[in-house]
Structure 1
Amino acid sequence: MDLLEEYRRATMFFETGDSAGAARLLEPIVEAEPHNISVRQLLARAYFQTAQLGRAEEQLRAIIAHDPSDHYAHHVLGRTLERAGRFAEALPHLRLAAAMKQHADYTEALRRVETWVGRSGGRSS
């Protein structure tokens, strides 16, 4: 298997809206190259888009374990946890991402989750 060609195909699938197809192509690439952060990140995004939140979380946590300063991975992990209704768990990741990089999406997600956590008294869901 030509991993680079498969990655390119997966990227095309993802960009054209076939996140499930992209994930199927990316899974064996991550298995073959577990330290390839770009592939892992795209796989996490494909999982997020297809509501495979547990799988997205797994990939994002692997990225963060490799590079704790990856603000985008923290942001997407926070969004994944938010989408799963795990607001209190999402908050630290969203705060880190917003502190590391000024970005409107990061700020918006952080405010949204802070509001949810405030309403629930810190409880998840």
Structure 2
Amino acid sequence: MDLLEDYRRATFFFESGDPLGAARLLEPIVEAEPHNTAVRLLLARAYFNSAQLNGAEAQLRVLVEHDPSDHYAHHVLGRTLERAGRFREALPHLRLASAMKTQTDYQEALRRVETWLGKNSAA
């Protein structure tokens, strides 16, 4: 198995709109190189883009545990939890990401979840 070539192919699949194909190529790479954060992040994004939210969450939690200052991993974890309807769990990750880095999409995701929780505070 040529891991670098498989990673390049997976990146091509992902960028071409085939997150399932990318995930299939990335899973064995993550197994072979569990500390490779770039591969794990791409796998998490492939899972997210193919609505495999449990898989995305698992990969992102590993990334956040490994590097709590990774604002992007916090953002994508928050978005994954938001997409799964787990707004209260998403909120701290979205707040952290937004506090660590000022980006429009971070702020928009945070506002969406805060608004949803504000409108559904009895939930």
Q: TM-score range by the shorter chain?
A: over 0.9
Deviations 1:38-87 (Å, cap 9, x if unpaired)? 00000000000010000000000000010000000000000000000000
Q: Would you identify which runs of 4 or more consecutive aligned residues in structure 1 move more than 2 Å?
A: none
Matches of 1:93 and 1:43, distance apart in 2: 19
* Residue in 1 that maps onto 2:86: 86
CA–CA distance in 2 between the matches of 1:107 and 1:14? 25
Please state how far the C-alpha of 1:122 moved relative to its aligned partner: 6.7
The match for 1:71 is 71
Residue 36 of structure 2: aligned partner: 36
Query: Which residue is 1:45 aligned to?
Result: 45
CA-based RMSD: 0.8
> 2:99 is matched with which residue?
99
8 Å CA contact 1:88, 1:122 repeated in 2: no
Aligned-residue offset at 1:104: 0.3
How many pairs are equivalent? 123
User: Counterpart of 2:34 in 1: which secondary structure?
Assistant: coil
Q: CA-to-partner distance for each residue in 1:3-39, whole Å, 9 max, x for gaps?
A: 0110000000000000000000000000000000000
User: 1:89 offset after TM fit, Å?
Assistant: 0.4
Show the counterpart of 1:115.
115
C-alpha change, 1:81 and 1:69, in structure 2 (3 Å) is same
The letter of the residue matching 1:68 is P
> What percentage of residue pairs aligned between the two structures are identical?
76
TM-score by length of 2: 0.98
Gaps of 5+ in 2: none
Q: Residue 67 and residue 25 in structure 1: after superposition, are their counterparts in 2 closer, same or farther (change >3 A)?
A: same
Partner amino acid, structure 1, of 2:59: Q
Match of 1:14 in 2: 14
> Which residues of structure 1 form unaligned runs of 5+?
none
Aligned counterparts of 1:122 and 1:3: Cα–Cα separation in 2: 49
Aligned 8 A contact 1:44 1:55 in 2: yes
